[in-house]
Structure 1
Amino acid sequence: MTKYTKQIGMIISLMTCTSLPLIAQEVKGRVMDEAKQPVEAATVIMQTPDSIFIDAVITDSLGYFTFPKEPTCYRLVFQHLLFKTFEKESCGPDAGIITLQGQDYTLNEVVVSGERPLVKADKGTLVYNAQVLSERTTARNAYESLLRLPGIVEQNEDLLLTGAKDMNILINGKPSSMNQDQLITLLKSTPASQVKQIEVMYNAPAKYRVRGAAVNIVLANEKSPDPFWKGEVSENYQQLVHANGSGNINLSYAGKKLSADINYSAGYEHSDSKMQIDSHHTLPDKVYSIQQLNETEAKHGQHNVRFGLDYQISEGNSLHSAYTGSFKTHGRTTTRSKGNYSDSESFRTSQEQMHNVNIDYTAVFGLNVGLDYTHFNSPSTQDFTNDLNTEKQHFLVDEKQTIDRWNVYAGQNHELPRGWGLNYGINFTFAQEKSGQLYHLDAGTDLSVSNTDTHMREETYNFYAGTDKSFNDQLTMSLSLAGEYYRLMDYQQWAIYPTFQLSYQPSYKHIFQLGFSSDKTYPSYWEMQDITSYINGYMKLKGNLYLRPSTDYTASFTYIFKGKYIANAYYSYVKDFFSQLPYQSPDELALVYQSINLDYQQSVGLSLIIPFSVGKWWTVQCMFDGSYNQDVCDKYYNISLNRNNWRGIVQMNNTFRLSSRPSLQLEYNLLYVSPTLQGIYDVSSVWKMDLGLKWTFANDKAELKIQGNDLFNTYVPDGKIDYKGQKLNMDMQNINRNLSITFTYRFNGYKEKKHKEVDRSRFGH
């Protein structure tokens, strides 16, 4: 046995000695700056630990460097004109990620410093650097990053872009068959670190397959010759009246041709709302004074998941696919109403799920084809009890809605001689919607309701063609025309939508943009159903079978000075503008909420964006918007409507850099919206103050954020109607003030180890 042991030992020693040259590995690493951006053309010098030169290389466009030899131990010296020299001693093939600090140059007591611009103009598009935005704010996800952009405000749970009637949300330049609420849910679960840049287009060309204004969120999509994983985990606790919480995990993989990202978030939401109404309701016999207090408590679980896969088939040819799922579980909504007219209770249980799949292919010769599919399902049950002065009502109602929507598109771009470009394509959307209500009335309950079971089919055929021209480095132009055939059941319509954009940049300080766009906005499917839903014994919601899409036309002129000061003048005209408004029924004591079409709505205004800094410790961004608005409807139920007012918006975002070591940032934001109108409805002014503190530590891998929103609970608008016999006051008593604490940890640079594969050539049968 000893003889064989010695022989085996000699063989192993011989194999080890002879294989050493074969398993010698390369030394690899990556060079980044303090903003986590790759540093290109940095010189990397390899020395022995006693400073003897071995080799030198230059980093590539992604910051990677490779040495063909791996000494036992070595010293690396990193040099770049814009960064401080850095030295690192290491052993092994993985040199890791090296972060270089920016260089300050002092000449005769004059310090030369630069400021990375927040925005730049590119062929009519305002491009915001998301990394700079992240440095200057405490935004923790893509949705909050949007709210930090100049001109974007959140009002009534909608995102508004000043100077634009409606705003489309694009992801990586592509629209989705998901609605805006579902897209916002996705953005709230997308980490801010995953956003590369945000593009704002007041007049989006037809090649984007949307019309009007658009905001494009470009997500990071890294490619690397040396595959690695990176990720982020975060936890959020939010205290309103009730405690809320959420957690998020994001993983992304970057390879030479393949990249992938996985995002999952789960949360619990518990909210309260309260509204006091004082209604002076006129019927033919007399005027009734009705006071009701509505209190609503809602809670549900929320799960969101997204999986994206990108594969670069060859240079310029890529395939993208993504799945997005959103699930609301265990929904419970309780509404209690008490007053001098009725006492009612409503208990609603609900579930909701949404699945979206997108497959997109881009070819090197300018072809882009894709398929986008969304399935949505939302069943619910309401148990309603109402005690009137003279009778008692009780019923159960089962509600359902299922939507299947397909979007098929194909587009072609051509680069023609002399700076011309040509694009054209098709964009077809097909939707099937099934919805209904099934009432179960107790004996003796007298309600004028009917069961519904509706099947709707919607078809949209869109054909577009456009051209763009770069006359020189200063002047660019784009023009596109879209023709659309729309069909919803028996309603059919042809329409043409032109879009025009002219951009002139006489110098780096001055940019002028002139644009015109047209768009169509569609109501939700539920709004167009013959349904009736009871909110309490006095208030109910009704659908409108005759509701139609609206068409708007917008013209704008934008001036940008030094890449940061922005002035935008705009005019918008919306034909058949629709909105959900309350109306006191002339036939019964009922306050009816129903979406209806006005004849038109128009507005003209001017917005100014003025950022400035005080040293390196205080960054300010101010936005001022003033507009004149008018709503007109000749037949608003049994009255006519022609109302107008002036509205102002003031926004001021402040970031204070309290300390660089440790990194502490304080964010202080103010927003004011003056009184405005919506049909016969007057909305009071609102304002709010937000305060946030961000601490970054553990080599910029960990963040702790404390955020207080609407600290004085003043961003809750009240409503009032006093117009041609309609008289109603709504006092909103919601607690909007909340405090949130978020902890985030990022891990990156984990590179896959290369392992020898097992020989299985003789296995199997």
Structure 2
Amino acid sequence: MTMISKQIGMIMSLMACTCLPLMAQEVKGKVVDEAKQPVEAATVIMQTPDSTFIDAVITDSLGCFVFKEEPTCYRLIFQHLLFKTFEKENCGPDAGIITLKGQDYALNEVVVTGERPLVKADKGTLVYDAQVLSERTTASNAYESLLRLPGVMELNDELSLTGTKDMNILINGKPSSMNQDQLITLLKSTPVSQVKKIEVMYNAPAKYRIRGAAINIVLDNGKSADPFWKGEVSGNYQQFVHANGEGNINLSYTGKKLSADINYAAGYRHKDSGMGTDSHHTLHDKVYSIQQVNETEAKHWLHNVRFGLDYQLSEGNSLHTAYTGSFQTKGNTTTRSKGNYSDSESFRTSQEQMHNVNLDYTAAFGLNVGLDYTHFNSPSTQDFTNYQNTGEQHFLVEERQTIDRWNVYAGQNHDLPQGWGLNYGINFTFAREKSGQLYQLDAGTDLPVTNTDTHMQEETYNFYAGTEKSFNNQLSISLSLAGEYYRLMDYQQWAVYPTFQLSYQPSSEHIFQLGFSSDKAYPNYWELQDITSYINGYMKLKGNPYLRPSTDYTASLTYIFKGKYIANVYYSHVKDFFSQLPYQSPDELALVYQSINLDYEQNAGLSLIIPFSVGTWWTAQCMFDGSYNQDVCDKYYNISLNRSNWRGIVQMNNTFRLSSRPNLQLEYNLLYVSPTLQGIYDVSSVWKMDLGLKWTFANDKAELKIQGNDLFNTFVPDGKIDYKGQKLNMDILNINRNLSISFTYKFNGYKEKKHKKVDTSRFGY
């Protein structure tokens, strides 16, 4: 090929992504309505000028259409049920932008109603229509849409999916790199109108670079031949004991090749918490009765900023880069404790900053490569005073943590003959963590503390390969295998993680899915330090340098009837399960909180999802889950542990359409969780009721929402320990009830772009 022909080929490939044609032997165009919005699923018929049929196509979600051949001159006929038929004669490859006029229909005697399925199966994935969820609930952002998914709950400020141990969040097929708090903040700022669909995978293939269960949020990030700016502003006021608030502004630019988005959010958090403990502590064959009441007040400012650029190099080839910053400033936490053993005060000041840069390239032949760098820094200072019968103890401690982490990844997908697919890749992560504590003890203060200065280096090498095949419209299978070498200082381990998914659909009304997956969970870096932090004069927190990752094996069978009724049978076994649990020390009067590894945790259960509706004014969804849970540890400090129980969960979400004009919806949700266990803990039952009202107006550009959460203040559990000499009652102060008022306004038809998140789940104290 000559140099000139190569240049011509490059120019043609760069222009192929637009709706307007720049290639020979193809006819392209775009169909819009009178408001210049794309018209999807319009039929476009091509004829010769003498009405001889040539071809017919359907417009895509952007209103674009393409004919693979280009007659010298031709006639185009545009048809759509909601628009008047339009004809156009043209010559050449550029059909231009065609505007269709609306068509009014009057159905006097016959009214046809139908119900779109809530869920469908696609190659082992449960696919939920986000717009159906939006219509049936008052969900106004991506996070609230997740909470309306069958089996998804918010427990202890974390998202969970029944039948799984841990749940990953993907955005447009890419893993999230943020911790739970940052991810929730992001999803709450994502309009539900921009969520195209939500995919639930109980056994995610290795090509997603995650293991175990996952929920993939697919956003509608369309391109446009006409560049435009869009935006959204929102504000939220939330009243707990103290007032909280946040504001958010999003701007995005979309062009033919280049798109950009910038987001800034600022919020103020001010919350109280409290706990009363009644400890019967056995020390040297003598029982001490210790009662303490802790009250904590925490407040800080939080700023999040992000800037992203996407550039379409050519058809199927794109480059993405983004910067994400998170800054927590003016952090102040005050904890006061009173009791018959000690009175103490703790004043902690802190700040936190995270910077992340991501570079990602996707090629038309199925290659995806990327580089991700994160820097995290979190210094804090604690001023602690403890008053006991033996005298006063006072110290200052400076705590610090700095993390630098690099992630390099590459993946390749192939479409093989006879419908087979092949994927393989690598995912390498390197992290360096520096942390420590520096104590300054007053004269006369005698505490068993040690200054620490720790440097850790972590390496993870992951290799994966997988295949998938759809044998017909009824049967599909997915297999993948990941090999991993993990090294943290002197600890090294090789591991293999298989994943299997089989989907069978004998008819449109019945879907069966059988799956198996394996996963690994890692403790955060601070838990691995040999540190001691004092909560009050009796309670303290200790790190565990011997803490190890856990391995999870999960199997599940899911049955879906008529696209909405769901039954799921599941079993999970977690080897080396780790959890932070309290323990009454046999050597001193101290209640020690420390994360430790159990031998294993396992659970088996059944969940049922039953949705129903009454006319168009009441939509409801009920979820029932029952499971058997067991925790086993042969050496739990100086005792053995083998405990089990049955747990039940009942959830019912209701949406009432009060009015169409004005658009008013009322939501009424209930959730009950029966008593359960965690190690030697017995956790009490909890329940809550939420009530919300949403008003949408100004041509759906504005939304006002009032939400009352946990109206009866009943969703914080109490804890109890009475096992082999360990005896402790924990009464958690329940101040979870809150009222929120939020307002959102979209201008210029704002469409928000989404992006890869930054993983900070293992950072922090």
TM-score when normalising by structure 1? 0.86
User: Following the alignment from structure 1 to structure 2, what is the Cα–Cα distance between the partners of residues 97 and 401?
Assistant: 59
For 1:114-125, list aligned pairs within 5 A: 114-125=114-125
User: Following the alignment from structure 2 to structure 1, what is the Cα–Cα distance between the partners of residues 560 and 533?
Assistant: 49
Residue in structure 2 matched with residue 635 of structure 1 by the alignment: 635
Whether the 8 Å contact between 1:238 and 1:739 is mirrored in structure 2 is yes
In the alignment, is residue 278 of structure 1 matched against residue 292 of structure 2? no
Residue in structure 2 matched with residue 83 of structure 1 by the alignment: 82
* Amino acid in structure 1 at the alignment position of 2:245: G
Residue in structure 2 matched with residue 336 of structure 1 by the alignment: 336
Residue in structure 2 matched with residue 525 of structure 1 by the alignment: 525
Q: CA 1:104–1:628 in 2, change beyond 3 Å: closer, same or farther?
A: farther
Which string of whole-angstrom CA distances, capped at 9 and with x for unpartnered residues, describes residues 652-695 of structure 1?
Answer: 11111111111001111111111110000011111111111110
Residue in structure 2 matched with residue 245 of structure 1 by the alignment: 245
Identity fraction in percent: 83
Which string of whole-angstrom CA distances, capped at 9 and with x for unpartnered residues, describes residues 617-646 of structure 1?
Answer: 111111111100000000000000000000
User: Following the alignment from structure 1 to structure 2, what is the Cα–Cα distance between the partners of residues 564 and 649?
Assistant: 19
Residue in structure 1 matched with residue 711 of structure 2 by the alignment: 711
How far the C-alpha of 1:42 sits from its partner, in A, is: 7.8
User: Following the alignment from structure 2 to structure 1, what is the Cα–Cα distance between the partners of residues 62 and 205?
Assistant: 34
For 1:707-746, list aligned pairs within 5 A: 707-746=707-746
How far the C-alpha of 1:261 sits from its partner, in A, is: 2.3
Q: Which moved more, 1:741-750 or 1:144-153?
A: 741-750
Whether the 8 Å contact between 1:190 and 1:263 is mirrored in structure 2 is no
User: Following the alignment from structure 1 to structure 2, what is the Cα–Cα distance between the partners of residues 38 and 510?
Assistant: 33
Residue in structure 2 matched with residue 479 of structure 1 by the alignment: 479
How far the C-alpha of 1:65 sits from its partner, in A, is: 9.0
How far the C-alpha of 1:30 sits from its partner, in A, is: 4.0
How far the C-alpha of 1:321 sits from its partner, in A, is: 2.1
User: Following the alignment from structure 2 to structure 1, what is the Cα–Cα distance between the partners of residues 650 and 135?
Assistant: 23
How far the C-alpha of 1:285 sits from its partner, in A, is: 4.2
For 1:62-77, list aligned pairs within 5 A: 62=61
User: Following the alignment from structure 2 to structure 1, what is the Cα–Cα distance between the partners of residues 128 and 376?
Assistant: 33
Which string of whole-angstrom CA distances, capped at 9 and with x for unpartnered residues, describes residues 133-160 of structure 1?
Answer: 2232223332222212111111112211
Q: CA 1:256–1:469 in 2, change beyond 3 Å: closer, same or farther?
A: same
Residue in structure 1 matched with residue 546 of structure 2 by the alignment: 546
Q: Which moved more, 1:341-350 or 1:556-565?
A: 556-565
Q: Which moved more, 1:632-641 or 1:136-145?
A: 136-145
Whether the 8 Å contact between 1:412 and 1:424 is mirrored in structure 2 is yes
Whether the 8 Å contact between 1:177 and 1:373 is mirrored in structure 2 is no
Q: CA 1:179–1:240 in 2, change beyond 3 Å: closer, same or farther?
A: closer
For 1:659-678, list aligned pairs within 5 A: 659-678=659-678
Secondary structure at 2:33 match in 1: strand
User: Following the alignment from structure 2 to structure 1, what is the Cα–Cα distance between the partners of residues 39 and 660?
Assistant: 21
User: Following the alignment from structure 1 to structure 2, what is the Cα–Cα distance between the partners of residues 105 and 258?
Assistant: 45
User: Following the alignment from structure 2 to structure 1, what is the Cα–Cα distance between the partners of residues 348 and 615?
Assistant: 55
Secondary structure at 2:375 match in 1: strand
Residue in structure 1 matched with residue 444 of structure 2 by the alignment: 444
Choose between structure 1 and 2 for higher RCO, CA contacts under 8 A separated by at least 6 residues. Answer: 2
Q: Which moved more, 1:524-533 or 1:740-749?
A: 740-749
Which string of whole-angstrom CA distances, capped at 9 and with x for unpartnered residues, describes residues 523-557 of structure 1?
Answer: 00000100101111111100001000000100000
Residue in structure 2 matched with residue 296 of structure 1 by the alignment: 296
Residue in structure 2 matched with residue 153 of structure 1 by the alignment: 153
Which string of whole-angstrom CA distances, capped at 9 and with x for unpartnered residues, describes residues 197-234 of structure 1?
Answer: 22111000010011111111223312011112222111
Q: Which moved more, 1:375-384 or 1:216-225?
A: 216-225
Find the partner of 2:33 among 31, 46, 59.
Answer: 31
- In structure 1, the gaps of 5 or more residues are 1-26, 44-57, 67-77, 88-94, 752-765
User: Following the alignment from structure 1 to structure 2, what is the Cα–Cα distance between the partners of residues 627 and 99?
Assistant: 56
Whether the 8 Å contact between 1:719 and 1:730 is mirrored in structure 2 is yes
Secondary structure at 2:589 match in 1: coil
How far the C-alpha of 1:371 sits from its partner, in A, is: 1.3
Residue in structure 2 matched with residue 262 of structure 1 by the alignment: 262
For 1:81-480, list aligned pairs within 5 A: 82-83=81-82, 111-480=111-480
How far the C-alpha of 1:714 sits from its partner, in A, is: 0.6
* Amino acid in structure 2 at the alignment position of 1:525: Y
User: Following the alignment from structure 1 to structure 2, what is the Cα–Cα distance between the partners of residues 102 and 271?
Assistant: 54
How many residue pairs match? The answer is 693
Q: CA 1:419–1:706 in 2, change beyond 3 Å: closer, same or farther?
A: same
Residue in structure 2 matched with residue 41 of structure 1 by the alignment: 42
TM-score when normalising by structure 2? 0.86
User: Following the alignment from structure 2 to structure 1, what is the Cα–Cα distance between the partners of residues 312 and 613?
Assistant: 42
How far the C-alpha of 1:120 sits from its partner, in A, is: 1.9
Q: CA 1:410–1:104 in 2, change beyond 3 Å: closer, same or farther?
A: farther
Residue in structure 2 matched with residue 499 of structure 1 by the alignment: 499
User: Following the alignment from structure 2 to structure 1, what is the Cα–Cα distance between the partners of residues 138 and 628?
Assistant: 33
User: Following the alignment from structure 1 to structure 2, what is the Cα–Cα distance between the partners of residues 453 and 274?
Assistant: 32
Q: How much is the aligned-residue C-alpha RMSD, in angstroms?
A: 2.8
* Amino acid in structure 2 at the alignment position of 1:488: L
Secondary structure at 2:226 match in 1: coil
User: Following the alignment from structure 1 to structure 2, what is the Cα–Cα distance between the partners of residues 37 and 118?
Assistant: 25
User: Following the alignment from structure 1 to structure 2, what is the Cα–Cα distance between the partners of residues 638 and 215?
Assistant: 40
Structure of larger gyration radius? 1
Which string of whole-angstrom CA distances, capped at 9 and with x for unpartnered residues, describes residues 300-326 of structure 1?
Answer: 001112223222222211222222221
User: Following the alignment from structure 1 to structure 2, what is the Cα–Cα distance between the partners of residues 203 and 59?
Assistant: 34
Secondary structure at 1:184 match in 2: helix
Whether the 8 Å contact between 1:433 and 1:457 is mirrored in structure 2 is yes
User: Following the alignment from structure 2 to structure 1, what is the Cα–Cα distance between the partners of residues 486 and 381?
Assistant: 33
Residue in structure 2 matched with residue 576 of structure 1 by the alignment: 576
User: Following the alignment from structure 1 to structure 2, what is the Cα–Cα distance between the partners of residues 133 and 101?
Assistant: 28
Q: CA 1:475–1:64 in 2, change beyond 3 Å: closer, same or farther?
A: closer
Secondary structure at 1:165 match in 2: coil
- In structure 2, the gaps of 5 or more residues are 1-28, 45-56, 66-76, 87-96, 752-765
Which string of whole-angstrom CA distances, capped at 9 and with x for unpartnered residues, describes residues 453-481 of structure 1?
Answer: 10100000011111111111111101011
